[in-house]
Amino acid sequence: MSEANPLGAFFREHLRELRRRVAISCGAVIVFTALAYAFSDGLTAFLLRPIFHALPHLKGLVYTSLPEAFIAYFKVSLLVGLAAALPVIIYEIWRFVSPGLRAGERRVALLVVFWATLLFVAGVLFAYLVVLPEVLQIMLGAAGERLLARPRLDNYLTFVARTVLCLGLAFEIPFLMVAAGKIGLVAPRFFREKRWISYGALLVLAFLLVAGDFLSALLLAAPLALLYEAGGLAVVLLCREHAEPTSG
């Protein structure tokens, strides 16, 4: 019984710390979501640009139920709030999983937040500027001249938000690979040895993200493969201290 009390106190302390980190993260999401909803008209107009560029004759999108516009605006605001709160969430996760850091803890945490946020922003920009225009051109071009496109607001915004958010998260691949190598979860050569299995998984992921269009999946899988190779190289260069000792 005497050994159980310190163990129970240890878990209670970590549970309190976890609740505090989760509360801060949820608070950040709520605040940023509220701010995004205040500017939801501008955000929606920004997200509508790719489809208006792909279909110049399109005057507007339609909605078929009374609450659809409100729900669509709220979805967009929530996803923007999640994206804006990502640096706070990453920082809180890092502080929770790395309590042993002392000297330089703040510098390491800031570096983690900086690189993770930079990669996420790069993924969002790539999705909006490169992937979405190409995917919309392919999907809408397949309809032909006899079909008239009348996209629904909620469906389109959900598709755009999902694509942008998923690609932003996909660009975290190098960061996650380096993190796995840094904590000794995998050996530096692991990702190179599993390259072809990972390529297959990335192709399946890309296929699911673009709703089954093979050409769009290839367009998306190519940068994901480059990110994987960059992450593998970064693991080899930055995680040498975790390399397996050579025999002899």
Rounded-to-integer distance, Cα 38 and Cα 32, Å:
10
pLDDT category at 248 given cuts 50, 70, 90 is very low
C-alpha to C-alpha distance for 233 and 239, rounded to whole angstroms: 10
DSSP state string for 96-108: HH-TT--TTHHHH
27: pLDDT strictly greater than 80: yes
Work out the average pLDDT over 76-104: 76
pTM, two decimals, is 0.70
Averaged pLDDT of the chain: 77
Q: For 166-217, what is each residue's pLDDT tens digit?
A: 788 888 888 778 777 776 677 777 887 777 888 888 888 777 766 656 766 7
Q: Which tokens go with 21?
A: 């980190």
- Residue 40 has which token pair? 């939801």
For the chain, the helix, strand and coil percentages under 3-state DSSP, each to the nearest 5: 75, 0, 20
Identify the helix (H) or strand (E) that includes residue 118.
helix 105-126
User: Can you tell me which residue has the tokens 């190598």?
Assistant: 181
Q: So what's the pLDDT on residue 108?
A: 64
Dist CA 30 CA 165 (whole Å): 18
Residues of the chain above pLDDT 90, percent: 6
pLDDT (tens digit per residue) in 144-159 = 666 677 788 888 888 8
Whole-number pLDDT of residue 34: 94
Which one, of 122, 136, 135, lies nearest residue 215 by Cα?
135
Closest CA to 94 of 28, 25, 170, 15: 25
- Give the position of tokens 């690609």: 167
